[in-house]
Every structure is written in structure tokens, then in C-alpha cells.
A and B are shown apart, each in its own frame.
Chain A
Amino acid sequence: MRIAASYDSLQYGKIPSPFFNKEQNPCMARQIRAVSLISGGLDSLLATRMVQDQGVHVEGINFYTGFCVEGHTHAIRQKDRARPKRNNALWSAEQLGIKLHIVDVIDEYKNVLINPRHGYGANMNPCQDCKTFMVRKALEWIDTHDFDFIITGEVIGQRPMSQRKDTMPVIARESGAGDRLLRPLCAQLLPPTLPEREGWVDREKLLRLNGRSRKPQMAMAAKFGFEEYAQPAGGCCFLTDEHYSKKLVDLWQARGDRDYELDDIMLLKVGRHIRPAPHYKLIIAREEGEGRFLEGYRKRYPALQVVSHTGPLVLIDGDASRADIELAARIAARYCKGRDAEQVTVEYRAPGMQETVALQVSPLPTSDIPEDWYV
């Protein structure tokens, strides 16, 4: 039986969790504590549970960048309204019985997205920089809250950019976390970390998962009694989505500036985006729920609403001239139930206008909307 902690552990007033007994060691400071990056996915759920089972006190942390897939689309679209909505990170934390700290990092994340040191993946996903950023933020958190190490659910070979044998050590180094970053699911394939060397966790009880197969994780979930979990392969970030990324690049190109606000990146997730000219684009609601969502932006954007027929709300993003507005009205008419009518009435109102302006337009034929207008 291992008796003594290392000198370092004693110096910091911590003892390995298997030996933590407050009654026997009243003068010892406290139980070992770790924070786990909880994405809401299966891997972080399992990694956390593994460390909990070794007697470590774990709390969860989740960083909100603004590009999260879950929640938004389900909250917006009418067809998804009946689906049970839950925040998967919160759900994971509840399954684990741990606190979850959700941190708004929207502003700080801009620099990660705009200037990624390691570039982008297949789309606008700066995965390696993103993970480095999140681990760095977790490090700041553990230092502020007197926690001891960080857990992630990373698995070597799981993701093409950030979870590779060559990139994972870079993430640990560049984040500043170094050997205070533990990856329980593949720890045996990596050099021992501080919590392992100190005996805070038993390396022999950690795993050596490798590759993209999800079967080992699914088997573990069954063993732990996790009957449901979020889509295990991830796909939780809009930046990995080709269509979303295209709209983001279009936004940056049109503005000549990569800066953005939360509303900008939220609007990219909603509606049909059509750019008839470089200086403006249309955001067209595709269904009732999106229309309700876009209503909330009327105070910020000029809007068109077909009133003679059932039709979508359309926002205008940019500086549209009168001729542009008339073209936009014809496009809005194209997407209403009166698309085959001779004339459609469309109301236009810009923020600050006291009254709407009614436009009588003929719907633009689909053939007159060039493919390259669609963003």
C-alpha cells in the first residue's frame, strides 16, 4: 500500500484522494479537486466519471463561444418545438452530480476565431486554437478557485485537428496547463501527468483509447449506466458546418472586417441568406419559428413583410437603396404564397420610421435569382 504522498503534495497541503480521510487527517487541507471541461458529449461525461470514481472532487466548466449548435436551432424552429430541449452540458453535470460553471467567452473567443495560430480545419473551425483557449481558461479558473488539475475527454485520433498525438502535447504546452491537464480516456498513451505522478489518480485505472471508433465509449456508457447522451461524435460547433462557415466568410468579406457581435453570429444560424449586391443581403425566414425569431431584430434592421399573402419576414442587412429595397421586396414576394400572383403587397419599415411603406411588386421568378446570390 502506498503510504506517503510525494513531497510536493505534502508541501501543497494535499494528499492523494484514496488516502483522504478528514477524521484521520484533520490537519490536511482538503480533498484533491479537478475541473472538467464538459461539452455535453459522451467523452467528457466518461472522463469525468472515471476521475470521480477515484475519489477526486470534480466540478464542470463549459465555455460558451456563441457558436454552439445545440439549443438555438431547436428553440427557434417550429418543427423542433415539440422536441425536448435541454442543454447537454447541464444534463451531463446532473448525471454526474457535479456543479457546472458556464462561462461566457464570446468576446475573448473572437481573437481565437479571427487569428488562429494553427489555422482552420475543413471549414472555419480553429479547433486546435479553440481547445488551447479553453484549456487556458480552465487553467485560469483552477488557479482562481484553488483546484488542482484539469480534465478533458480528449482521445488521441478522435478528431482530425485537435485530437492527434502530435497536437495534444502542443495544446497542453501552449495553454500553460502543461502536466496539470489530464486526459483520462487516453492517459496511458501520453506521458504521465502531475495528478498521476502525485498519486492523486491511479494511472493504471485510466485508459488508452485511440482512434475514431465510438464503440469503447458506448460500452463504457452502458457500464456506467448512462442510458442516453448527446451525439457522441460531437458536431456541436457551427464553425465545423460548411454552410454556416460560408455565411460567416461572406459576412466578413461584405464588411471588410472580421469583428462580430453575438447577434451577427446568431443570425447566421437562421433563415435563407441572399446577397443581391456586395453592400447588402437579405435574411429570409424559412418558417414560422424563424419568423418569430427575426421579429426580435426589427429594431436593428430594416424589414420587409409580405402582407397580401402568407409570407416570410425578411431582414435587410446592409445599406440598401430604394432600388435595392424594391428588388428585395420582389425576392420576398418570390418566397410567399403569392409567388405566382401578378402583384404582391410588401410592407417596408426601417428602424426609426414611424410608418410602414407599402410596395406593390411582382414576385421575382426563381430563374431570375442567380445561384451566386445565395450565401
Chain B
Amino acid sequence: MTIHKLDASGLLCPMPVIRTQDRIAELHAGDILEVQCTDPGAANDIPAWCRINGHKLVGIQQYENHLMVVIEVNNT
């Protein structure tokens, strides 16, 4: 398992999802991707993308100025 980071700060819907989607396409099952976002909509959009594309949402951590969405990549 490898942890990868993606900074999607400053990007608005749907760019955080697109960046997440494109990055996950490069990863392997079991990898973890931590996505940093400032768009509050990402807290809904990225989990929705995970659900429909079969990846596991590990969690969302809310910080003062950003949120961190953590995803475990599955085989799809």
C-alpha cells in the first residue's frame, strides 16, 4: 500500500473530481490517495464519484481552510 497526495486546492467543481479520477487511474488497488480540497462541494462530489466507480472512501477530515478526502483504490 502506498499513500499518494493530490492537492486540489483552489479548484472548483468538477475539477477536484476530475483530478481525483485521473490520478486514481494511475494508481493500484490498495493504494491510498489523500486529496486536499478547498471547494466544499468536494465533500459531496468525491464520495459520490467513489461510490459509483467502486472505490472506498476512507474518510473526510475538515480543517479550518480546507478538507482532506482519503480514498482507498479498489480494483474496478
What is A's interface to B at a CB cutoff of 8 Å? 62, 64, 68, 70-72, 74-76, 81, 84-87, 89-91, 93-94, 97-104, 266, 296
Contact = CB atoms under 8 A, between A and B. Distances in A.
B59 interface: no
Interface residues of B, number: 20
B39 A90 contact: no
A85 B14 CA distance: 11
Contacts of B69: none
A186 B18 CA distance: 31
A86 B48 CA distance: 9
A104 B18 CA distance: 7
10 contacts: A70-B13, A71-B13, A72-B13, A85-B13, A85-B40, A87-B17, A90-B17, A98-B52, A99-B76, A104-B18
Given A72-B13, A99-B53, 4 more contacts: A76-B12, A84-B44, A85-B40, A87-B44
B18 A87 contact: no
B21 interface: yes
Interface in B37-76: 39-41, 44-45, 48-49, 51-54, 76
Contact of B41 (A62, A74, A266): A74
A104 B21 CA distance: 11
Contacts of B48: 86-87, 90-91, 94
A86 B45 CA distance: 6
Contacts of B41: 71, 74-75, 85-87
5 A-B pairs closest in CB distance: A71-B13, A85-B41, A90-B48, A87-B45, A93-B52
B39 A75 contact: yes
Contacts of A89: 14
Contacts of A104: 15, 18
A90 B49 contact: yes
Contacts of A101: 21
A64 B40 CA distance: 19
Given A99-B52, A296-B10, A85 B21 contact: no
Contacts of B45: 85-87, 90
Contact of A100 (B39, B44, B52): B52
A75 B52 contact: no
Contact of B49 (A85, A100, A296): A100
A71 B45 CA distance: 10
Nearest to A84: B44
A298 to B, nearest CB: 12
B52 A72 contact: no
